[in-house]
Structure 1
Amino acid sequence: MTTQDIQQLIDFISQSGLDEVNIETNDLKISVKRYGSGAPAATASVPAPVASAAVPAAQTQPVAPTAVSAPTPVAAPKADTSNYVTIKSPMIGTFYRSSNPETPAFIEVGDTISEGKVVCIIEAMKLFNEIESEVSGRIVKVLVENATPVEYDQPLFLVEPI
């Protein structure tokens, strides 16, 4: 299933009014959920490639929904945040603060960053994407826990501009 196929599936589900759809085949598992009136969020996991040909969409059957707990949102800071800039997620995926568990986080609260500095990694469909800062400043707050799912445009960091 290509990225375009997944996007078409998300568009179809958003127009259908469904809140949750789970699709599972031998080589692909997709779970699409819509929270409130926002755009749907999709997560997909693909195990190792299978030697057989891809299963056509007409042969896939919906799987009964299973109980999946939604990620717990981190509480917003109580201080005045009007002068802070928010670094947001450019994609859906899993948020990581470092390149691997043995290395320190790219940035910590209090660190000064410059434009173009890598602040985190977001894994999407087994690809690890380095997210760079678009602003220079001091990190005030990390808004997401390490190794948790994030949605498109979800706030990740608060930065006090320099």
Structure 2
Amino acid sequence: MNVKELKSILQALQDHEVSELTLETPDYKLTVKRGPEVQYVQAPATPPQPAPQNPPSPAPEAAQPKPEPKEEAVRYLEVKAPIVGTFYRAPSPEAEPYVKEGDRVRKGQVLCIIEAMKLMNEIESEFDGVVRKILVNNAEPVEYGQVLFLIEPA
């Protein structure tokens, strides 16, 4: 089974709201379970607190934090792990990484490998852009859906 086949199975599970699937062949057994959807609840607003009558003055030697300059909001696209496994940045320990931060990537370009059940699965970019952040270290375990890369769209 390759990554594209696995992605299509996972998408079908999501589309049809299937919560569990087990696929068994002579070579491997794959079980996928989905938990309940996360629901976000907005906390009730609390009434404003009255200002103190005599606020304490800061000590002169205390450094006041400087406000961060407001950057233009940049929306990054996320590349997520399609499977559970071990993340590798390069095809072998002595090879150069597939990509580095700042590299321009094209749709379909290999970004990394995830090893799962002794199978090496190439993870490809789903869009063109620039790699802005690699969020996983080489040889670290990754979970399904974990964000691996942040890519600025081109």
Q: TM-score range by the shorter chain?
A: 0.5 to 0.7
Gap change, CA 1:151 and 1:140, over 3 Å in 2: same
CA distance in 1, matches of 2:139, 2:72: 28
One of 111, 122, 136 as aligned partner of 2:114: 122
Matched with 2:83 is 91
One of 23, 34, 50 as aligned partner of 1:4: 23
CA distance in 1, matches of 2:104, 2:150: 12
Output the amino acid matched with 2:85. Answer: G
Gap change, CA 1:100 and 1:156, over 3 Å in 2: same
Percent pairwise identity: 47
Residue ranges of structure 2 left out of the alignment (5+ in a row) = 1-21, 38-70
Q: CA deviation at 1:4?
A: 2.7
CA distance in 2, matches of 1:114, 1:145: 22
CA distance in 2, matches of 1:134, 1:107: 14
CA distance in 2, matches of 1:127, 1:81: 39
Q: CA deviation at 1:95?
A: 0.3
One of 97, 106, 118 as aligned partner of 1:105: 97
Gap change, CA 1:103 and 1:83, over 3 Å in 2: same
Matched with 1:161 is 153
Q: CA deviation at 1:132?
A: 0.5
TM-score in terms of structure 1 length? 0.53
Residue ranges of structure 1 left out of the alignment (5+ in a row) = 16-36, 39-78
Output the amino acid matched with 2:23. Answer: Q
TM-score in terms of structure 2 length? 0.56
User: What SS does the corresponding residue of 1:4 show, helix, strand or coil?
Assistant: strand
Greater C-alpha Rg? 2
Corresponding residue pairs, total: 97
Matched with 2:133 is 141
Gap change, CA 1:139 and 1:81, over 3 Å in 2: farther
Q: After superposition, what is the alpha-carbon deviation per residue over 1:57-96, rounded to whole angstroms, capped at 9, x for unaligned?
A: xxxxxxxxxxxxxxxxxxxxxx887511010011000000
